[in-house]
Amino acid sequence: MTTIKHRMILEINHSAEELFPLFSAEGEKLWVPGWDYENVMGSTDLHEDYVFLTSGHHRSGHHRLGHHGVTKEIWLVKKYEPSCYFVQFYMVDPYDRVGIISVLCKPISEDLTEVEVTYEFIGLSKEGDDFIKGYKAEVFEVSITNWKVWLEGYFQAKHNILD
C-alpha cells in the first residue's frame, strides 16, 4: 500500500462566505472547467454523509478508464463544518485508490481568505500505487494553482455580469 499527502495554501481576494459554498459538488460546477457529477442524493444541499459520483476523472481533469472498466468514482462528504469553513471528502476509485480531500477557508480579512487544500491518496492496487508514484508535489501544485486561476475567473465573470 502506497500513500502520499500534499498540502497547499492559496490566498483568494474574496470572503470565506463567498468561497466556501464553491467547494461542493454543485458549487464546483460554477468554476471548475468540465466538472460535473451525478447527484444520487436528490438534494444539492451538502452535509456529512452526502454521496455523489463522478465519471472517472480526478479533479485535476485527467480522464481515464479505471481498472476492470470502472469509470465511476464515489465521493462521500466525511466532514462538513460550514461554521468553520471546512469540508472533507473521501473519493473512492474502488479498484485503485482512496483520496481524502480537505478544504479549509480561513478568513484573513473581510475580502481575503486563505484556502488550505490537502490531498491524500492511498493505493489499493498496483494501478493506484502507480498513480501515487506519479502524483508528485509539482503535479499537485499545478493542479491547485489552477484552482486560484479558475476561482478568480469565476469571480471576474460574476462581477462583469453584475456591472
| pTM of the entire predicted model | 0.88
Domain spans, the chain: 3-162
Helices (H), the chain: 16-19, 25-28, 126-134, 137-162
**CATH level 2 (architecture), domain 3-162:** 2-Layer Sandwich (3.30)
pLDDT, tens only, 111-144:
999 999 999 999 999 999 999 999 999 999 999 9
Instruction: State pLDDT tens for residues 62-78.
Output: 444 444 445 789 999 99
